[in-house]
Amino acid sequence: MRPSPTSLAHWGAFSADISGGDIAAVTPPPGDADPSPLLGNLPGSVRHRSRIAGPAVRRGWLRDGPGPSRERGADEYVAVPWDELTELLADELRRVVETHGNEAIYGGSYGWASAGRFHHAQSQVHRFLKMLGGYTSSRHSYSLGATGVIMPRVVGTHDDLFKRSTQWDVIVEHTDMLVCFGGIAMKNTGINHGGTTAHPTRDALRRFRDRGGQIVSVSPLRDDVDGECRWLAPVPGTDVAVMLGLAHVLATEGLADRDFLATYCTGYERFERYLLGHDDGIAKSPQWAAQISGLAADELTALARQMAAARTIVTVSWSLQRIRHGEQAPWMGLTLAAMLGQIGLPGGGFGHGYGSMNEPGLAPLRCRLPALPQGLNPVQTFIPVAAISDMLLHPGESYDFNGMRLTYPDIKCVYWAGGNPFHHHQNIPRLRRALARVDTIVVHDPYWTAMAKHADIVVPSTTAYEREDFSGSRNDPLLVAMHALAEPYAQSRDDYLTYAALAERLGFGEQFTEGRTARQWLVHLYEKWAAGLDFEVPGFDEFWAAGQLRLPTEPGLTLFGDFRADPQTHRLGTPSGRIEIFSEDIDSFGYDDCAGHPRWYEPSEWLGGARAESYPLHLLANQPASRLHSQLDGGALSQASKVQGREPIRMHPDDAAARRLADGDVVRVFNDRGACLAGVVIDDRLRPDVVQLSTGAWFDPADPADPDSMCVHGNPNVLTDDVGTSSLARGCTGAHVLVQVEKFDGPLPRVRAHEPPVIAPRR
Ligand SMILES: Nc1nc2c(c(=O)[nH]1)N[C@H]1C(S)=C(S)[C@@H](COP(=O)(O)OP(=O)(O)OC[C@H]3O[C@@H](n4cnc5c(=O)[nH]c(N)nc54)[C@H](O)[C@@H]3O)O[C@H]1N2
Ligand SMILES: Nc1nc2c(c(=O)[nH]1)N[C@H]1C(S)=C(S)[C@@H](COP(=O)(O)OP(=O)(O)OC[C@H]3O[C@@H](n4cnc5c(=O)[nH]c(N)nc54)[C@H](O)[C@@H]3O)O[C@H]1N2
Ligand SMILES: [Mo]
C-alpha cells in the first residue's frame, strides 16, 4: 500500500490508501467536522465488477443497424476495439445529422456525474455536441423542477435562495423558531454538487439548541430531524393546506404584518380573499387544514401564534416540490414567511433546502470557480428535463410550459453521459417503451448501470479517481486538487479523450481540444480563472502541490437582507420588483393546475383521494442515506443497508402487523404501474400508512425482455407516475406514490443488477 494524495467527491474531500490499483481505504481531511458516511462506498469502487471494461455495441444494433428496438435491455453486447467504436459512433452521428438534422439528437444528458471542473461529464458532452452543430437540450433539474420555474417568477431568483441563503451562524445567533417543512434531513446534508469539504449542519443545530432555539419538524418521518424537536406528522403531500391553516390564524388574529405585505409584496389582498374563502366560501382555517392533513386544529392555531411571537424562519425542503402541484409549497412557504414580516431580518424569514443539500446556510464564494467554456448551442429546441418519455413517445405534439406553447422534437439519437435515467426518471416501464422508439442510444458511464444496459453504443468512462482534475462548489471555501489515485481500469478512457477522437474523425478535432492535453487544460483553465480574480492566488504548480486553495467567502448573509434594507435599490427581479404573492403573469397563462396565487390542490397521489382505496400506503421515494442516488450502489455502506439483498422499505409496526410482516421479510411493493421487491424494516418513526423506500437501487428486471417486469432489487421508479408538477413547470413528481405491500412468498430471484451483461468477443 502507498498513501496517496487527496481527491474530492460530491460528498467530501478525502485521502486514499491505494492497493492493487483500487482505493483500499479513505480518510476524511482533519478540517471536516462531520464527514459524510458515503465515503464508505469508495473502497473497491475503481475495480468493482460492475465496471465497463471496454467499448461495446449491442448485438442487434450491430446486426440490423440503427432503428427502433424492443430488445434494448435484454440483448447481448459485442466487445469492439476503440478505433471501431470511434468509427461507428462518428458515422452514426453524421448519419443522424445529415438525415434528420441536429435537433434529432437528444443531448439533455441530465445527471450528477462526479466532481471535477474539467472532466465534468455534462460540460464535456455539451461542448462536443455544440461543436457538432447542436442538440435538443433540457432545462431545469430533477432536484428543483418546480422551484426553478416558480421562484424566479415570484422572487426573481431561485439560485440566490440557496447561494445567498441565511447562514447557519446567523440562525444560531438570532433565530428562536425553526419551522421546517420536510425537516432538516441530516442524511442529505453530506452533499453538494462539485464537492464539499466541510459539513457544518450538525454542529449548527447543536449550537442553535444550546442557545434555546426550538425546532418544529413538519414531516411524515421523525428522523428527518436528528435529535430533539417538536414533530408534527401530516399526511404526506398536505403541507400547503397546513401552511394555509397557519396563515389563516395570522390573517384573522391581527398577526399578519400588513406593513411588510404592503411595502415588500404585491397581491396579498387577492390571496387573502382565497385564504378567507370570500370567493369559494371555504375558509382555509386550521379546522379545514386539520381535516386534510390529520394534524390537530388547536395545535396549528397555537403554532401560528408562537411563530408570530418569535423570530421565526420557515424552511421548505426541496422534497416538497417533487410532487404534483409542487410549485405551491415553496410559494406558500414564502407567503407564510411574508405574512410573518421577518423576511430579510437576521434569523427570520424564509429558507428553501436546509437539509436538502450542503449549500443553504453556507457562506458563498466571493468569486466564480474555473469552468470549461462550452460555447453556444445552435439548436434552440429544449424540453423541461423530466419530459423525456413524453418527448420520445409524442414527437410533434405540443404542450404547455411556463407560459409557452412548445412542440416535442422527433428524436433519433439519445446521447447520455454522466447520468442515469433508470435512476432518476419516473415510471420505468414507460421509459423503456420510450427508449425503444429511437434509432440509437449512446451511453458513456464507468459502470454497467441499467441505462448502459439499454444502450446501443456503450462507452467506458474513467471515474474521477483515475484522472487529474480540480473541483469546488460555490458555497465551499476550498478549491481542491484531485490527483489521479489509480490507473484507468481496463480499457476505460476519459470522456475527454473519447470526444477528442470523435471530433478528430468528424473534422473538428483542433476546435475541440484547442491542441491541449487534459493536463494542459487544467493549467489553462486555472490560469485564465486566476487572471480574472481581483485577488492573488498561487500559480498552478504551487496549488497542485499544496492540494487545495482557500478562497474568500462572504459571511453573515441574511436572505433578502439587502432588499429589506432598501427595496428600491435592491428591487427583486420580478415584474413588480417585489415578492409576488399574486403573479399577474402566471394568472394570465390561465392554467387550471397553477393559478395566480398559491393555493391548495389535491395531489394525485395522496391518502385522502380515491386512489388510496386500491393502494392504501403512501410511499416516500426520498434520497438514500446510504449513497448518492444510484452511484456506488455496490459499495460497502450501500450493500450493508440491504435486506436479503433488496433495498430496505421502512414500515410502521401497525402497517407491518396488518400484513403479517416481520423485520427482514421480502415484500412485493406494487400498484397499477409496476412492482418491485424490497426488504422490510419495521420502524415507528414513520406516520402510519406511510412507507419509505429510497431511490437508488439499480433497476433489475426479473425478465429483461418484458418492459413491465418487476424489479427484483427495489427501484421505486417502477411505481412512480410520470407526470409533471403542473403546466407551469412540468417538474419531476417522483417523491410520492401510492402503493400496496404484500409478503413475497415465491422463490427469491437473484439480484443481478451489478453484473455486467453478456459480452461476446468481436469475431
Ligand atoms: N422517485 C424519485 N426519483 C428521483 C428523485 C426522487 O426524489 N424520487 N430525485 C431526483 C433527483 S433530485 C435527482 S438529482 C436525480 C439524480 O439522478 P442522476 O444524477 O441521474 O443519478 P446518479 O446516480 O448520480 O447518476 C450519475 C451517473 O453518472 C456516472 N458518472 C460518474 N462519473 C462519471 C464520469 O466522469 N463520466 C461519465 N460519463 N459518467 C459518470 C455514474 O456512474 C452514474 O451512473 O434523481 C431524481 N429521481
Ligand atoms: N445521502 C444523500 N444525500 C443527498 C442525495 C442522495 O442521493 N443521498 N441527493 C442530493 C440531491 S441531488 C438532492 S436534490 C437533495 C434532495 O433533497 P430533498 O428533496 O429535500 O430530499 P428527500 O430525501 O427526498 O426529502 C427530505 C425529506 O422530506 C420528507 N418529505 C417527503 N415528502 C414530504 C411531504 O409531502 N411533506 C413533508 N412535510 N415532508 C416530506 C421526507 O420524509 C424526506 O426524508 O438531496 C441531496 N442529498
Ligand atoms: Mo437532485
pLDDT digits (tens, 9 = 90+) for 11-66: 999 999 999 999 999 999 998 999 999 999 999 999 999 999 999 999 999 999 99
Residue 371 domain-assigned (yes or no): no
Do 20 and 97 have their domain in common? Answer: no
> How distant is the alpha carbon of residue 493 from its chain centre?
27
Which three-class secondary structure state does DSSP give residue 290? helix
Do 701 and 616 have their domain in common? Answer: yes
Do 470 and 505 have their domain in common? Answer: yes
Could you identify the atom of ligand 2 that is nearest to the CA of residue 181? 38
Do 531 and 621 have their domain in common? Answer: no
> Is the dihedral angle over the CA atoms 126, 130, 133, 136 positive or is it negative?
positive
Centroid of ligand 1 to alpha carbon of 142 (angstroms): 10
Q: How far apart are CA 403 and CA 589, in angstroms?
A: 6
Q: What is the pLDDT of residues 587-641, one digit of tens each?
A: 999 999 999 999 999 999 999 999 999 999 999 999 999 999 999 999 999 999 9
Pocket test for ligand 2, best of 622, 686, 692, 720 (most atoms within 8 A of CB): 622
Question: Is 322 among the annotated ligand-binding positions?
Answer: yes
Do 522 and 669 have their domain in common? Answer: no
Q: What is the pLDDT of residues 379-432, one digit of tens each?
A: 999 999 999 999 999 999 999 999 999 999 999 999 999 999 999 999 999 999
Pocket of ligand 1 (CB under 6 A): 111-114, 119, 121, 142-143, 322, 417-420, 423-424, 444-447, 449, 461, 463-464, 495, 621-622, 628-631, 695, 716-717, 720, 732, 734-735
Between the CA atoms of 566, 570, 575 and 581, what dihedral angle is there, to the nearest 10 degrees? -60
> Is the dihedral angle over the CA atoms 96, 102, 105, 111 positive or is it negative?
positive
Mean pLDDT across 448-475:
98
Question: Is 467 among the annotated ligand-binding positions?
Answer: yes
Contact call for residues 733 and 322 (beta carbons, < 8 A):
yes
Smallest CA separation from ligand 1 atom 30, residue: 113
Residues in the chain: 763
Give the number of the ligand closest to the Cα of residue 695: 1
* CATH code where residue 710 lies: 2.40.40.20
Cell of 321: 416540490
Centroid of ligand 1 to alpha carbon of 193 (angstroms): 11
Question: Which amino acid is present at 274?
Answer: Y
Smallest CA separation from ligand 2 atom 17, residue: 356
The finding on whether 676 has its CB within 6 A of some atom of ligand 2 is no
Question: Is 505 among the annotated ligand-binding positions?
Answer: no
Cell of 64: 440490423
Domain count, the chain: 4
Could you identify the atom of ligand 1 that is nearest to the CA of residue 623? 7
Specify the pLDDT at position 4.
Answer: 55
Which three-class secondary structure state does DSSP give residue 533? coil
The finding on whether 715 has its CB within 6 A of some atom of ligand 2 is no
Specify the pLDDT at position 1.
Answer: 43
Do 326 and 397 have their domain in common? Answer: no
- The active-site residue out of 106, 112, 168, 416 is 112
- The active-site residue out of 11, 77, 106, 110 is 110
Specify the pLDDT at position 5.
Answer: 66
Do 83 and 35 have their domain in common? Answer: no
Question: Is 188 among the annotated ligand-binding positions?
Answer: no
Smallest CA separation from ligand 1 atom 45, residue: 424
Summary mean pLDDT of the chain = 97
* CATH code where residue 119 lies: 3.40.50.740
Could you identify the atom of ligand 1 that is nearest to the CA of residue 141? 14
| Residue corresponding to grid cell 421548505 | 316
Specify the pLDDT at position 3.
Answer: 46
Mean pLDDT across 132-145:
98
Question: Is 671 among the annotated ligand-binding positions?
Answer: no
User: What are the φ/ψ torsions at residue 512 (nearest 5 degrees)?
Assistant: -70, -50
* CATH code where residue 272 lies: 3.40.228.10
The finding on whether 318 has its CB within 6 A of some atom of ligand 2 is yes
Residue 585 domain-assigned (yes or no): no
Contact call for residues 355 and 224 (beta carbons, < 8 A):
yes
Percent of the chain with pLDDT over 70: 99
106 flagged as catalytic = no
Could you identify the atom of ligand 2 that is nearest to the CA of residue 355? 20
Could you identify the atom of ligand 2 that is nearest to the CA of residue 696? 7
| Residue corresponding to grid cell 403512501 | 618
User: What are the φ/ψ torsions at residue 138 (nearest 5 degrees)?
Assistant: -125, 155
Specify the pLDDT at position 6.
Answer: 87
Residue 754 domain-assigned (yes or no): no
Centroid of ligand 3 to alpha carbon of 593 (angstroms): 24
The angle subtended at Cα 56 by Cα 51 and Cα 61, nearest 5°, is 140
Question: Which amino acid is present at 757?
Answer: P
Enumerate helices (H) and strands (E) in the chain, giving the number of each: 25, 30
Nearest to 330 by CA among 401, 268, 248, 240: 240
Question: Is 495 among the annotated ligand-binding positions?
Answer: yes
Give the pLDDT band of residue 763 (cuts 50, 70, 90).
confident
**Pairing between strand 12-19 and 2-9?**
antiparallel
| Residue corresponding to grid cell 475527454 | 496
**H-run or E-run covering 374:** none
Please say which residue of 529, 550, 571 terminates a domain.
550
Mean pLDDT across 645-652:
98
Could you identify the atom of ligand 2 that is nearest to the CA of residue 187? 1
Residue 50 domain-assigned (yes or no): no
Do 460 and 319 have their domain in common? Answer: no
Do 60 and 37 have their domain in common? Answer: no
Residue 33 domain-assigned (yes or no): yes
The finding on whether 187 has its CB within 6 A of some atom of ligand 2 is yes
110 flagged as catalytic = yes
Residue 214 domain-assigned (yes or no): yes
Residue 756 domain-assigned (yes or no): no
Specify the pLDDT at position 2.
Answer: 46
Smallest CA separation from ligand 2 atom 16, residue: 356
Smallest CA separation from ligand 2 atom 3, residue: 188
Contact call for residues 39 and 12 (beta carbons, < 8 A):
yes
Smallest CA separation from ligand 2 atom 47, residue: 188
Do 272 and 128 have their domain in common? Answer: no
What is the domain range of residue 109?
56-136+381-550
Question: Is 763 among the annotated ligand-binding positions?
Answer: no
Do 695 and 731 have their domain in common? Answer: yes
**Pairing between strand 56-58 and 77-79?**
antiparallel
Pocket test for ligand 1, best of 127, 732, 739 (most atoms within 8 A of CB): 732
Q: What is the pLDDT of residues 317-350, one digit of tens each?
A: 999 999 999 999 999 999 999 999 999 999 999 9
> How distant is the alpha carbon of residue 544 from its chain centre?
31
Residue 189 domain-assigned (yes or no): yes
Q: How far apart are CA 371 and CA 171, in angstroms?
A: 32
Do 211 and 348 have their domain in common? Answer: yes
Cα diameter, the chain: 81
What is the secondary structure of 442-468 as a DSSP string? EEEESB--HHHHT-SEEEEBPPGGGS-
